[in-house]
C-alpha cells in the first residue's frame, strides 16, 4: 500500500507540472497565472477541493507529445461559500488546445454541474481544436459541439455559468464564454474571435491585428460581446467572486444531514486491511467501519445473501445506504460456503430490495466494489441467477437518488455493471489505488487469449512449443495488466480519478452536498422485471 500511495503522489506531481517548467515560465512571463493558480486564487481559502479527471490523457497521444491532465484542470470547490464546478484551461499544454480527451473531460464537468444544478465557472485560455485530430474532436455527438449544446441546456435549467477569457478563445470555442451568463475578459492577454488575424487575411484579404480584431477593448467597448474588462487575472477572478457573493439559493433535495463524527476505528487501518494479494479474502465490514461516522453501521438482512453487504450509516453527517461486496468466505442459508467477491442469487435479491428501500426513503447510495462477477455453473443457472441479477441491475439503474461508486479492489465483468459502474451514471466514481477494472481478471484473460492465439497459429500449421507458449503468455499478460491499472481507466475517464482510500469520506460528503442542490422530481419505478 505504501508503494501504491507513493506512486499516486508521484503521478499527481507530474500531472501538476502541466506542459513542464519551460512552458510554465513562458506562460507566466505574459503576466498570467497558471490554470491551477487561478483555481487556488478563486476558491475560498481553507476549504476542500475535489479534482475530477486529474489523470485524463495519462499515457495517451504519445505521437503528439502527450496531453497531461487532458490540457484542462477541473475541480469541485467553494466560491463565496457556494459549491461549484471550475474548468480551467491549461495553456502550458499545447497552448490549451482541445484533444479528444479534453472535450470528454469538459463534458464530464458540465455533466456534474447539470446533474447537481450547481454553478460552473470556465477559465478560458485555449487555442481551440487540436487540428491534427479534428476528426476525433469535432463532429460526433459527444465531441466539441456538445459543450455548446450543454451551455444552452444549462441556461434553460437555471444553472449559472460564468466565464473569464484569460487567454486565447478562438473559432467555435468562442461560443462557450459568450453562451454563459457572465463573460469577463482580461486586458492584454484575453482575446475572442471566430477567426484569428491570419485566417481573416487568408479568407477575406483584410489585414488586422488580433487585439483590434477581438481584444478586451474591442469586445467590452465596441461589440458588447463581453461584459467587462479587467487589468489582470486577479482582478478578473475577484469579479467572479463578487458575482457568487450575491447569488440566490435554490431548493434542496432534502437528504438527511446530522453533526459529523469521525469514525471510531482509525481510517488509516484500511491500509493494512486490503491485502496485497487480491485473491486473498478480507472482511469488507472492517473497511466500512473505518468510513462511516462513529463506525456505526446498521446492516440490512445481515444473515441473508452475505456476499453483498447492505446497510445504513452516515458519512460526514450525511445519511447513506451502502452496497458493498463482501470479500471473505461466508455460509449460505443452506449451510454451503460461498466465495467472497462473487454475487449469488440471494445477495442480488437482497441488494435489489435494499436499493428500492433507499429510493423510497430518499437516501443516497454508495457502492464499494470488489467483485469478480456473478456466480456461474448449472446450480446457479437453475436457481435463476440471471433473473436475480437482472433484478439488481434494474433496481440500481432506475435509482433516482444519487449514487457514488468506489472501486476498492476487483471490478470485473457484469459485477462492474451491477455495482454501479460508469455506464449506470454514478454522480462520482473513483478508484482506490488498489482498484482494477476489466471484463475478467488478468490471469483468466491471458489464458483465454493464449488459447485463441494458439488455435490461430495451429490453423496455419505453426506448432507452439512450450518456450513460445510462455513468451506469448507473458506478452498477453503484460498488455492486459497494463489495461487493468486504475490509471489506464482514469486516463480515459472511465473513472473520475485514482485516490488514497482516506479521500473516500471527502468525496462522498462533497458529492452528496452537491446532489442536495438538485431536488428529486422523477418518480422511482423499477419496471416490469420486479413484478
Q: What single-letter DSSP state applies at residue 394?
A: H
pLDDT digits (tens, 9 = 90+) for 290-333: 999 999 999 999 999 999 999 999 999 999 999 999 998 887 76
pLDDT digits (tens, 9 = 90+) for 247-287: 999 899 999 999 999 999 999 999 999 998 888 899 999 99
pLDDT digits (tens, 9 = 90+) for 330-360: 877 677 778 878 999 999 999 999 999 999 9
pLDDT of residue 106: 96
Instruction: For domain 18-245, give the fold.
Output: 2-enoyl-CoA Hydratase; Chain A, domain 1 (3.90.226)
Phi, psi (deg, nearest 5) at residue 120: -130, 140
Which set of grid coordinates corresponds to residue 301? 438482512
For 195-243, the three-class secondary structure string (H helix, E strand, C coil) is CCHHHHHHHHCCCCCHHHHHEHHHHHHHCCCCCEEECCHHHHHHHHHHH
CB–CB of 452/519 below 8 Å?
no
Where along the chain do its domains lie? 18-245, 267-434+501-517
Q: How many CA atoms lie within 13 A of 119 on its CB side?
A: 26
Find, among 397, 441, 387, the residue nearest to 419 by Cα. Answer: 397
The pairing of strands 82-89 and 72-79 is antiparallel
Dihedral sign (CA 525, 526, 527, 531): negative
- Least confident range from 157-166, 250-259, 420-429, 453-462: namely 453-462
- Least confident range from 54-63, 68-77, 187-196, 401-410: namely 187-196
Phi, psi (deg, nearest 5) at residue 111: -60, -40
Q: What is the pTM of this model?
A: 0.93
pLDDT of residue 128: 82
Phi, psi (deg, nearest 5) at residue 383: -80, -5
CATH number of the domain at 267-434+501-517, please?
Answer: 3.90.226.10
pLDDT of residue 528: 62
pLDDT of residue 442: 66
pLDDT of residue 339: 80
Find, among 138, 103, 107, the residue nearest to 120 by Cα. Answer: 107
pLDDT at residue 409 tops 80: yes
Which set of grid coordinates corresponds to residue 403? 449514487
- Least confident range from 6-10, 41-45, 149-153, 211-215: namely 211-215
Give the model's confidence band at 408: pLDDT under 50 very low, under 70 low, under 90 confident, else very high. Answer: very high
- At 171, is the secondary structure helix, strand, or coil? helix
pLDDT of residue 530: 47
Which set of grid coordinates corresponds to residue 427? 454522480
The pLDDT mean for the chain works out to 91
pLDDT of residue 529: 59
Please tell me if the domain spanning 18-245 has the same topology as the one spanning 267-434+501-517.
yes
CA distances from 449 to 136, 471, 473, 501 (A): 30, 13, 8, 33
pLDDT at residue 204 tops 70: yes
pLDDT of residue 476: 79
Percent of the chain with pLDDT over 90: 69
CB–CB of 94/19 below 8 Å?
yes
pLDDT of residue 531: 44
Give the model's confidence band at 382: pLDDT under 50 very low, under 70 low, under 90 confident, else very high. Answer: low
Amino acid at each position: 500500500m505504501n508503494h501504491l500511495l507513493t506512486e499516486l503522489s508521484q503521478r499527481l506531481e507530474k500531472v501538476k507540472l502541466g506542459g513542464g517548467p519551460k512552458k510554465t515560465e513562458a506562460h507566466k512571463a505574459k503576466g498570467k497565472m497558471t490554470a491551477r493558480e487561478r483555481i487556488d486564487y478563486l476558491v475560498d481559502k481553507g476549504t476542500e477541493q475535489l479534482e475530477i479527471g486529474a489523470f485524463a490523457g495519462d499515457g495517451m497521444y504519445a505521437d503528439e507529445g502527450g496531453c497531461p491532465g487532458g490540457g484542462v484542470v477541473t475541480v469541485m470547490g467553494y466560491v463565496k461559500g457556494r459549491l461549484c464546478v471550475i474548468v480551467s484551461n491549461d495553456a502550458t499544454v499545447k497552448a490549451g488546445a482541445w484533444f479528444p480527451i479534453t472535450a470528454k473531460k469538459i463534458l464530464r464537468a458540465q455533466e456534474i454541474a447539470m446533474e447537481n444544478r450547481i454553478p460552473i465557472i470556465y477559465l478560458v485560455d485555449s487555442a481551440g481544436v487540436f487540428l491534427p485530430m479534428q476528426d476525433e474532436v469535432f463532429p460526433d455527438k459527444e465531441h466539441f459541439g456538445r459543450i455548446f449544446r450543454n451551455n444552452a441546456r444549462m441556461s434553460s435549467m437555471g444553472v449559472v455559468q460564468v466565464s473569464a477569457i484569460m487567454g486565447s478563445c478562438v473559432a467555435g470555442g468562442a461560443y462557450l464564454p459568450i453562451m454563459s451568463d457572465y463573460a469577463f475578459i482580461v486586458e492584454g492577454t484575453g482575446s475572442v474571435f471566430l477567426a484569428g488575424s491570419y485566417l481573416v487575411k487568408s479568407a477575406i484579404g483584410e489585414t488586422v491585428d488580433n487585439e483590434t480584431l477581438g481584444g478586451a477593448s474591442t469586445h467590452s467597448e465596441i461589440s458588447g460581446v463581453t461584459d467587462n474588462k479587467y487589468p489582470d487575472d486577479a482582478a478578473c477572478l475577484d469579479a467572479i467572486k463578487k458575482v457568487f457573493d450575491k447569488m440566490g439559493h435554490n431548493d434542496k433535495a432534502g437528504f438527511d444531514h446530522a453533526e459529523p463524527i469521525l469514525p471510531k476505528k482509525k481510517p488509516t487501518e484500511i491500509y493494512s486491511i486490503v491485502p496485497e494479494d487480491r485473491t486473498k479474502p478480507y472482511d469488507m465490514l472492517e473497511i466500512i467501519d473505518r468510513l462511516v461516522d462513529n463506525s456505526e453501521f446498521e446492516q440490512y438482512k445481515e444473515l441473508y445473501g452475505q456476499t453483498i453487504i447492505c446497510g445504513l450509516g452516515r458519512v460526514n453527517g450525511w445519511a447513506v445506504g451502502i452496497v458493498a461486496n463482501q470479500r471473505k468466505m461466508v455460509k449460505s442459508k443452506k449451510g454451503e460456503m460461498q466465495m467472497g467477491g462473487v454475487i449469488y442469487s440471494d445477495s442480488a435479491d437482497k441488494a435489489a430490495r435494499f436499493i428500492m428501500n433507499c429510493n423510497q426513503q430518499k437516501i443516497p447510495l454508495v457502492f464499494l466494489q470488489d467483485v469478480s462477477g456473478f456466480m456461474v455453473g448449472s446450480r446457479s443457472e437453475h436457481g435463476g441467477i440471471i433473473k436475480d441479477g437482472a433484478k439488481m441491475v434494474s433496481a440500481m439503474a432506475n435509482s433516482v437518488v444519487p449514487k457514488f461508486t468506489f472501486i476498492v479492489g476487483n471490478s470485473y465483468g457484469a459485477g462492474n455493471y451491477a455495482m454501479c459502474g460508469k455506464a449506470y451514471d454514478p454522480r462520482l466514481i473513483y478508484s482506490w489505488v488498489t482498484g482494477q477494472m476489466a471484463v475478467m481478471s488478468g490471469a483468466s484473460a491471458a489464458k483465454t487469449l493464449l488459447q485463441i492465439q494458439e488455435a490461430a497459429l495451429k490453423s496455419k500449421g505453426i506448432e507452439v512449443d512450450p518456450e513460445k507458449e510462455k513468451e506469448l503468455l507473458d506478452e498477453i499478460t503484460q498488455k492486459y495488466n497494463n489495461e487493468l491499472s486504475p490509471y489506464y481507466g482514469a486516463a480515459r475517464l472511465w473513472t473520475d480519478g485514482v485516490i488514497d482510500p482516506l479521500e473516500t469520506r471527502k468525496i462522498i460528503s462533497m458529492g452528496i452536498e452537491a446532489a442536495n442542490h438538485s431536488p428529486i422530481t422523477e418518480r422511482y419505478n423499477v419496471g416490469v422485471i420486479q413484478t
